[in-house]
Chains A and B, each alone.
Chain A
Amino acid sequence: MKNQMKTVMKKIIFLTLLVLIELVPLQAQSSRKIIGKVTDFKTGEELIGVNVKIKGTSFMAITDLNGNYSIETDNNPANILSFTYVGYRETFEPVKSRTVINMQLSDADKQLNEVVVVGYGTQKKESVVGSISSIDNKTLKSSPASNLTQSLAGKLAGVQIVQPSGEIGNDEASIYIRGRATWNDASPLIVVDGIVRNDFGKIDPNEVESINILKDASATAVYGVKGANGVIIVTTKRGEMGKPKISVTAQTALVQPMRIPQPLGAYDATSLQYLADWGQYKSRTPLSKGGTLANDLLLYRTGASPWDHPDVNWVNTIMKPYSTQQQYNINISGGTKTVRYFVSGGFLNQNSLYKNDNLTDYSRFNFRSNLDVDVSKDLTVSLNLGSRVENLNSPTTTIYSSWNIYRGAFANSGRTYPIYNPNGSYAGNGNNLEASLLSSGIYKDVKSTLESSISLNYKLDFITKGLSAKGQVSYDTQGENGRDWTQSTAQYVYSQNTDSYQQFGQNTPLSYGGVQKNNNWYKVYVEAGIYYNRTFGKNSFTGLFLADRNKLTNNAEVAYADQGVVGRITYDYDKRFFGEVNVGYNGSENFPKVNQYGLFPAYSAGWLISNEDFIANSSLSTIITNLKIRGSLGWVGNDKSTVNNVAQRFIYLQQYTNGGGYTFGTGDNGYAGIQQGAIANPTAQWEVARKENIGFDSEFFKGLFGITVDYFYEFRNEILTDISAVMPQYVGAAFAVANVGETENQGVEIDLKHNLRVNKDFSYYVKGNLTYNVNKVLKKADPLGLLPYQKEEGYPIGTPSAWNNTGYFNSYQDIKNNPSQLGSNNGIPGNIEIIPGDLKFLDFNHDGVINQADAYRQGYGSVPVLQYGLTIGGTWKSFDFSVLFQGSAGSSFPKQWEIMWAFSNSDNVFAKHNNYWAPEIANTAQFTRFYGKSWINNERYYSTYELGSGDYLRVKSVEIGYNFPKVLMNRIGMSGARLYVTSLNTITWSKEPYLDPDNRDARGGLMPPTRAFNLGLNLNF
Chain B
Amino acid sequence: MKIFKYISLILVLGFIACNDFLNLAPDVNLNEDKVFTNYVNAQAFQADIYSGLTQRFNAIGSYLPVPMSSASDESESNAGYFGTKPFNMGNYDGVDANISYYYTAIHKANLFLKNKDRIPYPSKLARQKMVGEVYFLRAFYYNEIVKRFGGMPILNEVNGLLVPGDDLMRPRNTYRECFAFIMNDLKNAIDSLPVTLNTNEYGRATKGASMALKARVLLYAASPLFSKTNGIWGMGGTTDDWYDKDGKTWWLKAAEAAQAVIDLKDETGGQVYALYQTNAANKADDYQNLFFNRREQGNNEIIFYKHEAPVGVNDAQINVWMPNGDFGGNGAVEPTNNFVKLFEMSNGKYIDEAGSGYDPKNPYINRDPRFYKTIIYQGSTWQGATVDMSTTTTQFPAGTFLTGYFVRKYLPEQIKKLSTTTSYHNWIFFRLAEMYLNYAEAMNEVEGPTQRVRDAVNAVRSRSGVVDLPVALTGDQSSMRIRLQRERAIELSFEEQRWWDARRWSTGEQGELAAKWFGGPFYRVTITKNGNAVSYNEETYFTRIYQPHNNLYEIPTGEMYKNPLFVQNPGY
In the complex, whether A847 has a CB less than 8 A from a CB of chain B is no
In the complex, whether A920 has a CB less than 8 A from a CB of chain B is no
Q: Do the beta carbons of B26 and A785 come within 8 Å of each other?
A: no
Minimum C-beta distance from A802 to chain B (A): 17
A653 to B29 CA separation, bound complex (whole angstroms): 11
Residues of A within 8 A of B50 (CB): 662
Q: Which of B164-172, B228-236, B275-283 contacts A (4 or more CB under 8 A)?
A: B164-172
- Could you tell me how many residues of chain B have their Cβ less than 8 Å away from some Cβ of chain A? 83
Q: Which of A554-568 contact B (CB under 8 A)?
A: 558-559, 561-563, 565
Residues of B within 8 A of A467 (CB): 4
Given contacts A656-B34, A666-B296, A668-B308, contact A729 B100 (CB under 8 A): yes
Q: Which of A671-693 contact B (CB under 8 A)?
A: 671-676, 679-681
Given contacts A287-B399, A656-B30, A666-B199, contact A732 B104 (CB under 8 A): yes
Q: Which of A704-712, A733-741, A868-876 contacts B (4 or more CB under 8 A)?
A: A733-741
Q: Do the beta carbons of B561 and A783 come within 8 Å of each other?
A: yes
Which partner residue on chain B sits nearest A668 by CB separation? B309
Q: Do the beta carbons of B25 and A673 come within 8 Å of each other?
A: no
In the complex, whether B559 has a CB less than 8 A from a CB of chain A is yes
Q: Which of A221-238 contact B (CB under 8 A)?
A: none
Q: Do the beta carbons of B103 and A731 come within 8 Å of each other?
A: yes
Given contacts A589-B22, A784-B564, contact A730 B153 (CB under 8 A): yes
- Contact of B103 (CB < 8 Å), options: A528, A650, A730: A730
Q: Which of B298-350 contact A (CB under 8 A)?
A: 307-310
In the complex, whether B163 has a CB less than 8 A from a CB of chain A is yes
Q: Which of A530-577 contact B (CB under 8 A)?
A: 530, 545, 547, 549, 551, 558-559, 561-563, 565
A723 to B51 CA separation, bound complex (whole angstroms): 25
A667 to B108 CA separation, bound complex (whole angstroms): 26
Q: Do the beta carbons of B564 and A561 come within 8 Å of each other?
A: no
The number of residue pairs between A and B whose CB atoms lie closer than 8 Å in the complex comes to 221
- Digitize B266-279: 1 where CB-to-A-CB distance is under 8 Å, 0 elsewhere: 00000000000000
Q: Do the beta carbons of B11 and A528 come within 8 Å of each other?
A: yes
- Digitize B1-32: 1 where CB-to-A-CB distance is under 8 Å, 0 elsewhere: 11110011011001100100111111011111
In the complex, whether B363 has a CB less than 8 A from a CB of chain A is no
Which partner residue on chain B sits nearest A563 by CB separation? B21
Q: Which of A258-282 contact B (CB under 8 A)?
A: 277, 280-281
In the complex, whether A481 has a CB less than 8 A from a CB of chain B is no
A733 to B164 CA separation, bound complex (whole angstroms): 11
In the complex, whether A944 has a CB less than 8 A from a CB of chain B is no
In the complex, whether A852 has a CB less than 8 A from a CB of chain B is yes
Minimum C-beta distance from A730 to chain B (A): 5
In the complex, whether B201 has a CB less than 8 A from a CB of chain A is yes
Q: Which of A80-88, A191-199, A822-830, A890-898 contacts B (4 or more CB under 8 A)?
A: A822-830
- Could you tell me how many residues of chain A have their Cβ less than 8 Å away from some Cβ of chain B? 78
In the complex, whether A460 has a CB less than 8 A from a CB of chain B is yes
In the complex, whether B35 has a CB less than 8 A from a CB of chain A is yes
For B51, B164, B308, the residue with the greatest tally of chain A CB atoms inside 10 Å of its CB is B164
Q: Do the beta carbons of B24 and A561 come within 8 Å of each other?
A: yes
Minimum C-beta distance from A906 to chain B (A): 14
Residues of B within 8 A of A660 (CB): 47-48, 51
Which partner residue on chain A sits nearest B110 by CB separation? A732
Q: Do the beta carbons of A661 and B199 come within 8 Å of each other?
A: no
- Contact of A662 (CB < 8 Å), options: B47, B93, B106: B47
Q: Do the beta carbons of A671 and B4 come within 8 Å of each other?
A: no
Residues of A within 8 A of B93 (CB): 829
Minimum C-beta distance from B398 to chain A (A): 6
- Digitize B341-361: 1 where CB-to-A-CB distance is under 8 Å, 0 elsewhere: 000000000000000000000
In the complex, whether B498 has a CB less than 8 A from a CB of chain A is no
- Contact of A829 (CB < 8 Å), options: B29, B86, B99: B86
Which partner residue on chain B sits nearest A935 by CB separation? B79
Which partner residue on chain A sits nearest B154 by CB separation? A730
A673 to B108 CA separation, bound complex (whole angstroms): 12
- Contact of B561 (CB < 8 Å), options: A665, A738, A784: A784
A317 to B309 CA separation, bound complex (whole angstroms): 46
Given contacts A668-B307, A729-B100, contact A783 B562 (CB under 8 A): yes
In the complex, whether B64 has a CB less than 8 A from a CB of chain A is no
Q: Do the beta carbons of A664 and B7 come within 8 Å of each other?
A: no
Residues of A within 8 A of B110 (CB): 732
A460 to B8 CA separation, bound complex (whole angstroms): 14
A829 to B558 CA separation, bound complex (whole angstroms): 14
In the complex, whether B478 has a CB less than 8 A from a CB of chain A is no
For A285, A727, A731, A832, the residue with the greatest tally of chain B CB atoms inside 10 Å of its CB is A731
Minimum C-beta distance from B391 to chain A (A): 9
Minimum C-beta distance from B485 to chain A (A): 26
- Digitize A629-660: 1 where CB-to-B-CB distance is under 8 Å, 0 elsewhere: 00000000000000000000010011111111
- Digitize A131-162: 1 where CB-to-B-CB distance is under 8 Å, 0 elsewhere: 00000000000000000000000000000000
Q: Do the beta carbons of A681 and B164 come within 8 Å of each other?
A: yes
Q: Do the beta carbons of A676 and B108 come within 8 Å of each other?
A: yes
A596 to B21 CA separation, bound complex (whole angstroms): 11
Given contacts A284-B399, A664-B203, A786-B561, contact A732 B25 (CB under 8 A): no
Minimum C-beta distance from B468 to chain A (A): 37
Given contacts A728-B563, A732-B104, A785-B564, contact A663 B307 (CB under 8 A): yes
- Contact of B48 (CB < 8 Å), options: A287, A673, A735: A673
In the complex, whether B134 has a CB less than 8 A from a CB of chain A is no
- Contact of A653 (CB < 8 Å), options: B28, B90, B91, B108: B28
Q: Which of B530-572 contact A (CB under 8 A)?
A: 545, 556-564, 572
Given contacts A674-B30, A829-B86, contact A733 B47 (CB under 8 A): no
- Contact of B51 (CB < 8 Å), options: A284, A559, A661: A661
Q: Do the beta carbons of B15 and A662 come within 8 Å of each other?
A: no
In the complex, whether A408 has a CB less than 8 A from a CB of chain B is no
Minimum C-beta distance from A684 to chain B (A): 10
Which partner residue on chain A sits nearest B50 by CB separation? A662
Q: Do the beta carbons of A565 and B15 come within 8 Å of each other?
A: yes
In the complex, whether A588 has a CB less than 8 A from a CB of chain B is yes
Q: Do the beta carbons of B26 and A668 come within 8 Å of each other?
A: no
In the complex, whether A726 has a CB less than 8 A from a CB of chain B is yes
Q: Do the beta carbons of A738 and B203 come within 8 Å of each other?
A: no
Q: Do the beta carbons of A727 and B562 come within 8 Å of each other?
A: yes
Which partner residue on chain A sits nearest B539 by CB separation? A283
In the complex, whether B89 has a CB less than 8 A from a CB of chain A is yes
- Contact of B21 (CB < 8 Å), options: A549, A733, A736: A549
Q: Do the beta carbons of B30 and A732 come within 8 Å of each other?
A: no
Minimum C-beta distance from B53 to chain A (A): 8
Q: Do the beta carbons of B564 and A730 come within 8 Å of each other?
A: no
In the complex, whether A587 has a CB less than 8 A from a CB of chain B is yes
Q: Do the beta carbons of A728 and B47 come within 8 Å of each other?
A: no
- Digitize A802-825: 1 where CB-to-B-CB distance is under 8 Å, 0 elsewhere: 000000000000000000000111
A605 to B182 CA separation, bound complex (whole angstroms): 69
A675 to B111 CA separation, bound complex (whole angstroms): 11
- Contact of A562 (CB < 8 Å), options: B10, B22, B160: B22
A236 to B100 CA separation, bound complex (whole angstroms): 55
In the complex, whether A112 has a CB less than 8 A from a CB of chain B is no
In the complex, whether A71 has a CB less than 8 A from a CB of chain B is no
Q: Do the beta carbons of B164 and A547 come within 8 Å of each other?
A: no
Other A-B contacts than A589-B23, A729-B556, A785-B564, 14 sampled, CB-CB below 8 A, are A277-B399, A285-B398, A463-B3, A467-B4, A547-B11, A547-B15, A565-B11, A666-B296, A673-B45, A726-B562, A731-B103, A732-B104, A738-B164, A785-B560
Contacts A/B (CB < 8 Å), 17 sampled: A280-B79, A528-B14, A530-B7, A547-B14, A655-B30, A662-B53, A665-B199, A668-B310, A729-B99, A729-B556, A730-B152, A731-B103, A732-B105, A732-B107, A733-B107, A738-B164, A824-B89
Q: Which 9 A-B pairs have the closest CB atoms?
A: A732-B107, A673-B48, A824-B90, A656-B30, A783-B561, A662-B50, A785-B561, A660-B48, A732-B103
Binding site for B on A (CB under 8 A): 277, 280-281, 284-285, 287, 460, 463-464, 467, 469, 528, 530, 545, 547, 549, 551, 558-559, 561-563, 565, 587-589, 596, 650, 653-668, 671-676, 679-681, 723, 725-733, 735-736, 738, 783-786, 823-825, 829-830, 832, 852, 935
